[in-house]
Structure 1
Amino acid sequence: MQIKKISLYGNNGERRDVDFKASQVNVITGASKKGKSSLIDIVEYCLGSSECSVAEGHIKQTVKWYSVTLIFSDTEVFIARKSPLQGEKSSSACHMLVAGNITTPKYLELEVSTNITSVVAFLTSKLGIPEQVTEVPNEQTRSSIKIGFKHSRYYLFQGQDEVAAKRILFHRQSEPHIPQAIKDTLPYFMGAAKDDRLSEIEKLRALKRDKVRLLKRIKEIVSLKGEGLQKGHDLLAEAQAVGLYESKVIPTDTQLLDVLRNISRWVPSNIEDNFLDGDPSYELDMQYRQFSEQKKVIRSRLRAANEYAGSIDGFEGELSEQALRLKSIGLFKNISQENVCSVCERPHDEKSNADKIIEATIAQLDNKLEGVNRNKPRVTNYLQDLRAEDKNLAESLKKTRSALEVIQAQEVASKTKAQLDAQRLRVIGRISLYLESVDLGENIQPIQNSIDELEPQIEELEEKLDPETLKERLESQLSLIGEDMTRWARELGLEHSENPIRLDTTKLTVVAETPSGRTPLYRIGSGENWVGYHLVAYLALAKWFIEQNRPVGRFIFFDQPTQVYFPSDNSNTGNLNEIENDEDREAVKRMFEWIFKVVEELSPKLQVIITDHADIDEDWFQSSIADTKWRGENALIPKHWYEQSESNTPELGD
């Protein structure tokens, strides 16, 4: 997989293409703030990055779609991914084309035809990465990783802040969780962990499960047989204890198996009783509940009736007391005499108002007393009826409760029988298993033969999949890669290159194996060495991936490898004459010549894309320049794109 073209689609409907040549070095040279460094972010975004890392500025303001055209040995793939909406970090909307020869689509031809998850899955399959899961040691708690195309991107890019770093070596190594992901997946991409390792791990687990099952079966048979027929006599004693064997005669060894077989045929009696229609216990319980509810209603009515009867008696007593009061002051004696005052007892012509009031009061008292006397018998009869009904309900509840107690006692007995039957069935189960094992006789040998056949396969796979074997294989491969790294470091004149140079996958850095111990990259001074060892490590890995046919893209993207020589503030033309020190100018030229030489050695298997300030005035360099030189008004984004947008736009990040 190499890069044929990077295309940007502007909000204005125009398209900006940057073309690259396959299988050779491609240089994008230009001044600062022209968009060179954004090319890595654009490519990585199109290849599945979870976030669009393009710097804020003209690019984000003017671009609607980012796209990359890839070249494979048998086809081309066009991947366009929408720019994130305002306030979002990414977009999953993609447009993908696969064809033998792709004509780059126009703006209006782009549509959302797939998503980035499907794009990454396609690239994983296209590169030939099979289903593979990283292994996690038992004593560690981190989750395993399903290896895919995204894990190969660590070996394809070196950003401006990475290529000259002294404490990190790989792309995105400074981000959380990435170092462990690199450590876990590198053995696979190196080829130390074979493509079929996952399937072989599953095969080993299946073989071990089969062996455990067979060993368990042998142990079970041996345990059941016991010492001779002693196990059978023990089971007969258990059967006798639960009533399955009532004879007092102890069978001989020759009779024992027949007796046990007869016992094993026992089945519980009256099983059908459990399925009889109707449940008397349930019906009586429902009846008891109904009687209880009725009794509550009667009791409530009794309370109300008693309260009413009590109020009548109180009312009658109050009327009687009022009558006695009138009588006690002698008011009743002259009420019947006409023209006599009932108070002073003197004759007069007309009845006084007092007489009228007294007569009215007496009439009211008489009416009320008469009403009370009429209601009392009815209240008394009502109370008697309620008490009789309450008594009848109490009798019904008593009878129902007694019937329930009888049924519950029967259920306890039935439950006891069920428990006994359950015990008997358990004994019969052990007897049946014992009889099966006794019947097997010498059939234990075929099981042992199966185990004997499994053990060599298990041993072979365990040795092949042994983590220590994997570690040794990886160390051997790193030693071979180290030979190229050492040779190339010497060609570049890097410090400590007189010693063996190699990758340290534990610390994820480059080390020099010196007589006093390992010297890691961060202890090898100067930016020139840091850049040089990054280039050496990445190209050595690329060579290994190519020669071992590993599923990693066949391109590397280096951003600003000459930054330690070309301070961006002083670089105007990129000409080596801008570098004051003669040694530095020679170092820059030597570095580019070396990169060109390595790519030529690996041709046509490797493509290297370099974005840099340098512009070496020699044919071999000038012929490698892709696109125009990005100086003056020439840049990744055409000037008229952002002039049409809002004013006061931030400067484009380099």
Structure 2
Amino acid sequence: MKASISHIFLFNGDQVRNLKFEEGLNIITGDSKTGKSAVIEIIDYCLFASRSTIPKGIITDWTEFYCIVLKIMEKFLVIARKKNSNSMYFVVEIDPKVLENFSLEYFSDKSLMDLNDAKKEFEKHLGISVLDTRTDIEEDKRTSGGKVTMRSFAPFIFQHQNLIANKHSLFYRFDDFYKRKKTIDDYSILMGWENAEYFDLRRELEEKQKELSRNKKIAEKLKINSEQLRTDLYNSLSIYYTFLGKNLDSEISLSDLKKLSKDLPKANANSVADQNLPLLLGKIDHEITEKKKELINVENLIDTIKDNNSLSKNYGSNIKRLKAMASIPQVVEEIHCPLCEQEVKEIKEKINIVQESNQMLVNEFEKIGVYVNDTSEESGTLRKQRDQLKKEIKSLSIKAEEINNQITLEFNSREDYEKGLLLKGRTEATAATLIERSQLLAADKNDFTELIEYIEELKSKLSGYNLKEKLQKAEVLLSEKMSEICNQLDFEDEFKPGKIWFDLEKFALKYTIDERENILLSEMGSGSNWLAIHLSAFLGFLYLHSVTESSRIPSILILDQPSQVYFPKVYGKLEEEEANDNNKKDDNILQVKNIFKVLSHEITTIESECGFKPQIIVLEHADEEEFSQFIKYRWSKEGSKLI
């Protein structure tokens, strides 16, 4: 995702420290204890870290207010945080002029937000809005799934001084089991391969599969032998037939018994009890009508959410199209009459007005960006309401049909009806119970078929995400890029030729030699090897996150002291060493120079493929002519420094 850190501001009343960065390679070089390493902690603190890890001392004593400005596409996201506070400012700007002469006064009319609220709003502007990653609604949010957080991409951005050549760990925050698991779980979402709709479909599929499994188990449990059912039904119905003075064929089939149990012979007409049945039927019909109205409203809401989600997926491209349509080509500075060749200032003034209006429209388009919101929870609630209403309507319809059948029955005499009423009712109820026990769900094949078809429809929708295929392609691309970069760095010959492979499901890195032996990072045995693996891995991720259009991970990498593997050997004595050693260059210095050469080359490669430069910020002791063009600040104990 195209992104960069534009500014860092530190405030102490009217005093301000301002660091300005650009896309591409940015280097801050200088002595120890000048504030270089604190830069990475300040950025982390402003990116919604739960607590401050800014080194205690001069910087924390001086600074009252920390602020960073991120440029995401064409928007500027201003994030400011007080010292030792969870109160934040979060503001979206389009005009870069607001950053000129930037001071605390800027926040005077802005509202403070809670850290979590500010983080949620920031995530929406990145296009990250998934509130629930559970695949089973019955799982506990605290231990499984839960909200996706932008903090999960922090391990891909920061390489601290104690980590950049660590032989035991690659990633920042991975010493915490929960944070490690959260980063791995959230990665597919941060890459744009999964979204809120995906997890909503997963939960619904799990729910429907459980429903189907429960129904099948109940059906199997309650199913009885067909012959036993025929015997039980015959015994129950024959008692009623005997009461009526009729014979029931002893050879009657099970199928006919089932039909007969639903339409027993008539008893007696003009029953007093039947006088209330039409009124009851009317009430039930009215209730069915109201339930159907509710169902229509719920289904309309579900369709509306689906339509809105569909529109939101495509709004980014639509905004680009509208922006292109709104753009006005630059005109010449002067406009002349074609007849007399006199300058026509009135037309030029009108064109300027139109251009200003047009620019305002373009700015409004830019403010929209990739803002997204998760509606899966609302969709899940509405689906439950829909299913419950369908069940209630079906139950009421069955009840109405039974009453209607009773009303239409003709009875022979009041006396026979009064005598047979209780027995007839009991016989019907007994027969219905027996049949229901026999085939509670299997008897209604349409319900099973509808549920199975819906499950297949959900599976089809999920297959459209092609998650496994995307993951495999990314692994291949990432591993090839890591291996390519590693071959350019200082990697021991005994491990060559080899290949890095990174497993994106387990977040495990292995190094293979001729595809015969897997070597772990801790087994490589040299600081230069560990550094090469770290740089290769994180430049590989930077490449992957930049070339993947759907990625929501900012194309930013911050490295702290990559040269430390080659020094504390005294730095800056290249000319003296050349004179003393017959112009032989110090290999350590050459390797440091090569690091910056590789960094610059990868930035150029990404720019050629993506059309933008990723941002790499390096905090370093080294300062050589070959990479002086990338040095933004030179700090020293006696001269300028962070504070």
- TM-score range normalised by the length of the shorter chain: 0.5 to 0.7
Residues 1:117 and 2:116 are matched in the alignment: yes
**Deviation for aligned residue 1:227:** 7.0
> Do 1:225 and 1:231's aligned partners in 2 also have CA atoms closer than 8 Å?
no
> Do 2:471 and 2:504's aligned partners in 1 also have CA atoms closer than 8 Å?
no
Structure 1 counterpart SS, 2:481? helix
> Do 1:497 and 1:512's aligned partners in 2 also have CA atoms closer than 8 Å?
no
Structure 2 counterpart SS, 1:29? strand
Q: Deviations over 1:263-309 (max 9, x none)?
A: 99999x9xxxxxxxxxxxxxxxxxxxxxxxxxxxxxxxxxxxxxxxx
Residues 1:517 and 2:514 are matched in the alignment: no
**Deviation for aligned residue 1:463:** 6.5
> Do 1:31 and 1:630's aligned partners in 2 also have CA atoms closer than 8 Å?
yes
Instruction: Mark the CA change 1:422 to 1:66 in structure 2 (over 3 Å): closer, same or farther.
Output: farther
Where does structure 2 lack aligned partners over 5 or more consecutive residues?
274-420, 579-584
User: Which residue does 2:5 correspond to in 1?
Assistant: 3
User: Which residue does 2:168 correspond to in 1?
Assistant: 167
Name the CA distance, whole Å, in 1 between partners of 2:257 and 2:510: 81
Name the CA distance, whole Å, in 2 between partners of 1:229 and 1:557: 79
Tell me which structure has the larger Cα radius of gyration. 1
**In the alignment, which of 476, 488, 491 is matched to residue 488 of structure 2?**
491
User: Which residue does 1:59 correspond to in 2?
Assistant: 59
The 5 Å alignment of 1:321-336 reads none
Residues 1:46 and 2:21 are matched in the alignment: no
Residues 1:610 and 2:618 are matched in the alignment: yes
User: Which residue does 2:561 correspond to in 1?
Assistant: 560
Name the CA distance, whole Å, in 2 between partners of 1:205 and 1:582: 63
Name the CA distance, whole Å, in 1 between partners of 2:86 and 2:58: 22
Name the CA distance, whole Å, in 2 between partners of 1:255 and 1:504: 63
Instruction: Mark the CA change 1:553 to 1:205 in structure 2 (over 3 Å): closer, same or farther.
Output: same
Q: Deviations over 1:593-614 (max 9, x none)?
A: 1101111221224000001101
> Which letter does structure 2 place at the counterpart of 1:182?
T
**Deviation for aligned residue 1:180:** 2.3
> Which letter does structure 2 place at the counterpart of 1:75?
K
Name the CA distance, whole Å, in 1 between partners of 2:92 and 2:228: 73
Residues 1:595 and 2:595 are matched in the alignment: no
User: Which residue does 2:91 correspond to in 1?
Assistant: 97
Name the CA distance, whole Å, in 2 between partners of 1:256 and 1:551: 62
> Which letter does structure 1 place at the counterpart of 2:94?
G
Name the CA distance, whole Å, in 2 between partners of 1:542 and 1:96: 26
Name the CA distance, whole Å, in 2 between partners of 1:577 and 1:145: 58
Name the CA distance, whole Å, in 1 between partners of 2:50 and 2:586: 44
**Deviation for aligned residue 1:177:** 2.5
Residues 1:622 and 2:609 are matched in the alignment: no
Structure 2 counterpart SS, 1:492? coil
Name the CA distance, whole Å, in 1 between partners of 2:177 and 2:37: 22
Name the CA distance, whole Å, in 2 between partners of 1:180 and 1:423: 65
**In the alignment, which of 562, 566, 587 is matched to residue 583 of structure 1?**
587
Instruction: Mark the CA change 1:68 to 1:218 in structure 2 (over 3 Å): closer, same or farther.
Output: same
Instruction: Mark the CA change 1:202 to 1:265 in structure 2 (over 3 Å): closer, same or farther.
Output: farther
Instruction: Mark the CA change 1:449 to 1:525 in structure 2 (over 3 Å): closer, same or farther.
Output: closer
> Do 1:204 and 1:462's aligned partners in 2 also have CA atoms closer than 8 Å?
no
TM-score, structure 2 normalization: 0.62
Structure 1 counterpart SS, 2:162? coil
Name the CA distance, whole Å, in 2 between partners of 1:563 and 1:525: 16
**What number of residue pairs does the alignment pair up?**
464
Instruction: Mark the CA change 1:210 to 1:176 in structure 2 (over 3 Å): closer, same or farther.
Output: closer
User: Which residue does 1:367 correspond to in 2?
Assistant: none
> Do 1:575 and 1:616's aligned partners in 2 also have CA atoms closer than 8 Å?
no
**Deviation for aligned residue 1:28:** 0.6
> Do 1:35 and 1:636's aligned partners in 2 also have CA atoms closer than 8 Å?
yes
> Do 1:489 and 1:497's aligned partners in 2 also have CA atoms closer than 8 Å?
no
User: Which residue does 1:78 correspond to in 2?
Assistant: 78
> Which letter does structure 1 place at the counterpart of 2:41?
D
Name the CA distance, whole Å, in 1 between partners of 2:518 and 2:224: 59
User: Which residue does 2:32 correspond to in 1?
Assistant: 32
Where does structure 1 lack aligned partners over 5 or more consecutive residues?
85-90, 270-420, 638-654
> Do 2:201 and 2:458's aligned partners in 1 also have CA atoms closer than 8 Å?
no
> Which letter does structure 1 place at the counterpart of 2:21?
F
> Do 2:563 and 2:622's aligned partners in 1 also have CA atoms closer than 8 Å?
yes
Name the CA distance, whole Å, in 2 between partners of 1:565 and 1:489: 17
Percentage identity across paired residues of the two chains: 23
Name the CA distance, whole Å, in 2 between partners of 1:257 and 1:136: 44
Residues 1:474 and 2:482 are matched in the alignment: no
Instruction: Mark the CA change 1:509 to 1:562 in structure 2 (over 3 Å): closer, same or farther.
Output: farther
> Do 1:207 and 1:458's aligned partners in 2 also have CA atoms closer than 8 Å?
no
Q: Deviations over 1:239-275 (max 9, x none)?
A: 88xxx996786644579966776699999x9xxxxxx
> Do 1:136 and 1:142's aligned partners in 2 also have CA atoms closer than 8 Å?
no
Residues 1:182 and 2:183 are matched in the alignment: yes
Structure 2 counterpart SS, 1:78? strand
Instruction: Mark the CA change 1:260 to 1:109 in structure 2 (over 3 Å): closer, same or farther.
Output: closer
**Deviation for aligned residue 1:552:** 0.1
Query: 163-172 or 475-484: which moved more?
Result: 475-484
Structure 2 counterpart SS, 1:563? helix
